[in-house]
Amino acid sequence: MADVAPVVELVGVGRTFPGPPEVRALQDIDLVIPRGDYVSILGPSGSGKSTLLNLLGLLDRPTAGAFRLDGIDTSSLPEHRRAFLRGSRIGFVFQSFHLLNHRSIEENVELALLYSGVRPTQRRQRAAAALERVGLGHRLGFAPLTLSGGERQRVAIARAVVNRPSLLLADEPTGNLDDATTAQILDLFDELHAEGLTLAVTTHDADVARRAHRPVRIRDGRIEPIVAADPGIERP
Amino acid sequence: MRRGARRLDGRAHLRLGDLLSEAGAALTARPARTLLTAMGTVLGVAALVATLGLARTAGTQIVTRFDELAATSVQVRPAGQGGFAGADTTVRSSIPWDAGDRLARLNGVRSAGTYTALGTKASRTVPLVDPTGRDVVQLPVVAVSGGTFDAVRARVRTGRFFDDGHNVRRDPVAVLGPAAAQRLNVTRVDQGPVVFVDERPLIIVGILDGVVRQPELLGAVIIPDGIARTRFGLRAPAEVQVDVAVGAAELIGSQAALALDPNQPERLRVAVPRSPRGVQEQVQADVNGLFVVLGAISLLIGAIGIANITLVSVLERVGEIGLRRAVGAARRHVAAQFLVESAAVGLLGGIIGASGGVLTVVAVSAARGWTPVLDPWLPLAAPLSGLAIGLLAGAYPAWKATAIEPITALRQGT
């Protein structure tokens, strides 16, 4: 079973953008996210946070070190294998939802299964089940623009979890939501985490960061030492 | 939430049906834009189809008219002789007297007969004492065989044509062309009027109403070969007029000389009408040249239109592209989707354009009373050319779409 390996294992990872001038966005990153963990990733703009998110999401390759996802060394894989891993093991949630506005919410959720070869009938069943899971069973057939912001983000979360990913990457997931809706989304994250999902959430919001089990702070391309007693109460 | 075993060697892939339905959904999301994008291709393909169709239709039309007169007309003359067959040239002629009968036995010949112009002769009817001599007119005299009347498709107004019997018996008979009859003041033949040609009498047996070929017969005194041999020393017929079935001209052209002069067929020259196929192709080439260029230019403009709009669409859908990449699409899947979308727009334009072009051909033909003719491959090739244009036009935008960095796109908040 793959459960022995941690979901994410970064060993000495660096990412340098060739210049001129050469930019060393990440250096010597060692990070392990075990299965079932819930981390928040904090850091000011330009700290290398988005570069790290790119690497974790297999949307970019490190220039140094190794990244193992579920124990699979991803650095040397060809692009189509990485695309498959991304589609089958990673779920993304974004600040601005990124739903296709002219498609129904089921079709939006089905999109996450489109590139991994799931049959259409099975896609529809799983999409409906995922929407049910995030509490939108009564909204089937709706277009995204007819939903509230919180509901749209829940559609996005359904899309992220529909293929049962190893890792859910959320990039400022509550940045566009009010406090009440934010609380609902964070409750949903807690529920998903309780069901065994591994989450990594980037945020500027201390309240959001506090819901995670441990903070990972990035500054100047390096991970700051973890202060166990103080789980991420830092305002940018 | 866990699945037990996952395939480690999986590769991202996309079913063809899913690719098509994703592209279809993107196109139907903005139907007006899709139609406008296709418009350039519609006009280009319609112009090409209409041009090619009309050229074909017009070409066929000209050939149809051509068939009715000339394509069924074949002449046989002695080789090395010019256009006009005079009596003086008959010395060298190897055409036999029974040429009409010989050719009539060939399959494809409807009728055939000899034809020899004997020049103009002084002709009059009743002798009058008229010092001014106005009762004498100069009329061309033509010697023919019995089959010639059918071969030139002559119609009789009154009386009858002479036949091979008159010919063999060397009967002194004549048929007048309508203009000749008028000049000689002959209107009826029931009382056996006589025409004096070179002061020797010929009994008028009939008056022509008209002919389809050899219009000089209308003003001529037409006599049988037999009496022409006796009175005017005719040695051999100058030419043979043949009326053939439609499409048989080339066949008869290859057989006539052998049938008339088996020993030395090269002494005869057979004039056949130009091949209808050649005429048709030439007409098409004339019409096509310019308009095909115009159609091609409008197709090119159509392609640029598709490329432009698809490029705009790529820039608008940066977020969607990033999202698709994030949920497991490889670069080639993104490229494939935009290619399929632009190809579908091209195909749509091609189908609408082909329909428009065909309708144009039918409408013009209806207005002109023509039979619309279309090459069968044209309505099939036209949508395919639209498809090709779309693919070509989509190549650059599709490549552009693959260059989009997913996270950058997803952070833009579109």
In the A/B pair of chains, how many CB contacts fall below 8 A? 121
- A111–B327 CB contact, under 8 Å: yes
Residues B66-117 have pLDDT tens digits of 566 667 888 888 886 544 444 455 556 788 888 888 998 999 899 999 999 9
- B328–A83 CB contact, under 8 Å: yes
Neighbours of B232 (CB within 10 A): 18
- Which residue among A92, A100, A164 places its CB closest to the CB of B3? A164
Mean pLDDT, residues B120-148: 81
- Which residue among B325, B330, B411 places its CB closest to the CB of A80? B330
Residue B4: the pLDDT is 38
Quick one: tokens of A46? 């330009």
- B320–A98 CB contact, under 8 Å: yes
Give the chain A residue nearest B1 (alpha carbons).
Answer: A164
Domain map (residue ranges) of chain A = 36-49+76-223
- What does pLDDT average to over chain B? 84
Backbone angles phi, psi at A42, to 5 degrees: -120, 155
Report the gap between the CA of B337 and the closest CA in chain A (Å): 12
**Residue B330 or B413, more confident:** B330
pLDDT class of B127 with cuts at 50, 70, 90? low
Say whether pLDDT at B59 is over 70. yes
Task: Convert B82-98 to b/e letters by CB count within 10 Å (16 or more is b).
Answer: eeebebebbeebbbbbb
Say whether pLDDT at A231 is over 60. no
- Which residue among A57, A60, A196 places its CB closest to the CB of B2? A196
pLDDT class of A4 with cuts at 50, 70, 90? low
- B1–A197 CB contact, under 8 Å: yes
Candidates A236, A172, A161, A235; CA nearest to A202 is A172
Report the gap between the CA of B307 and the closest CA in chain A (Å): 23
Mean pLDDT, residues A109-127: 89
Say whether pLDDT at B128 is over 70. no
Domain map (residue ranges) of chain B = 16-65+278-411, 95-260
CA–CA dist B39, B41 (Å, integer) = 5
- A115–B22 CB contact, under 8 Å: no
* Chain A interface, best mutation among B323, B331, B405, B412, by max A CB count within 10 A: B323
Report the gap between the CA of A229 and the closest CA in chain B (Å): 31
Say whether pLDDT at A25 is over 90. no
End-to-end alpha-carbon separation of chain B, Å? 31
Report the gap between the CA of A197 and the closest CA in chain B (Å): 7
CA–CA dist B348, A149 (Å, integer) = 37
Residues B310-365 have pLDDT tens digits of 999 998 888 899 889 888 888 889 999 999 999 999 999 999 999 999 999 999 88
Write out chain B in H/E/C secondary structure.
CCCCCCCCCCCCECCHHHHHHHHHHHHHHCHHHHHHHHHHHHHHHHHHHHHHHHHHHHHHHHHHHHHHHHHHEEEEEECCCCCCCCHHHHHHCCCCCCHHHHHHCCCCEEEEEEEEEEEEEEEECCCCCCCCCCCCEEEEEEEECCCHHHHCCCEEEEECCCCHHHHHHCCCEEEECHHHHHHCCCCCCCCCCEEEECCEEEEEEEEEEECCCCHHHHHCEEEEHHHHHHHHCCCCCCEEEEEECCCCHHHHHHHHHHHHCCCCHHHEEEECCCCHHHHHHHHHHHHHHHHHHHHHHHHHHHHHHHHHHHHHHHHHCHHHHHHHHHCCCCHHHHHHHHHHHHHHHHHHHHHHHHHHHHHHHHHHHHHHCCCCCCCCCHHHHHHHHHHHHHHHHHHHHHHHHHCCCHHHHHHCCC
Least confident of A21-35, B66-80, B270-284: B270-284
CA–CA dist B23, B339 (Å, integer) = 9
Chain CA centroid to CA A50, Å: 12
Candidates B217, B260, B300, B234; CA nearest to B75 is B260
pLDDT class of B254 with cuts at 50, 70, 90? confident
- Which residue among B1, B319, B329 places its CB closest to the CB of A195? B1
Residue type, B354: A
Give the chain A residue nearest B4 (alpha carbons).
Answer: A1
Q: How far apart, in Å, are the Cα atoms of B44 and each of A177, B27, B53, B172, B299?
A: 50, 21, 14, 71, 4
Residue B90: the pLDDT is 54
User: At which residue do the structure tokens 């195909």 appear?
Assistant: B347
Instruction: Report helix, strand or coil for A86.
Output: helix
Percentage of chain B exceeding pLDDT 90: 28
Neighbours of B155 (CB within 10 A): 10
- A111–B17 CB contact, under 8 Å: no
Tell me which of 3.30.870.10, 1.20.1090.10, 3.40.605.10, 3.40.50.300 is the CATH number of domain A36-49+76-223. 3.40.50.300
Residues B148-189 have pLDDT tens digits of 999 988 999 999 999 888 889 999 999 999 999 888 888 888
- Which residue among A2, A59, A79 places its CB closest to the CB of B406? A59
- A54–B407 CB contact, under 8 Å: yes
Say whether pLDDT at A210 is over 60. yes
CA angle B243, B247, B248 (to 5 degrees): 55
A47, A224 contact by CB (below 8 A): no
Chain B residues within 8 angstroms (CB to CB) of chain A: 1-6, 8-15, 17-18, 22, 25, 29, 319-320, 322-333, 405-407, 410-411, 413-414
Residue A68: the pLDDT is 92
Residue A198: the pLDDT is 94
Report the gap between the CA of B10 and the closest CA in chain A (Å): 6
Mean pLDDT, residues A121-132: 92
* Chain B interface, best mutation among A7, A86, A92, A114, by max B CB count within 10 A: A114
Burial class (CB in 10 A: 0-12, 13-18, 19+), B347: buried
Residue A201: the pLDDT is 92
Mean pLDDT, residues A186-204: 91
pLDDT class of B250 with cuts at 50, 70, 90? confident
Looking at beta carbons, which residues of chain B come within 8 Å of A72? Answer: 8
Report the gap between the CA of B42 and the closest CA in chain A (Å): 26
- Which residue among B326, B332, B411 places its CB closest to the CB of A86? B326
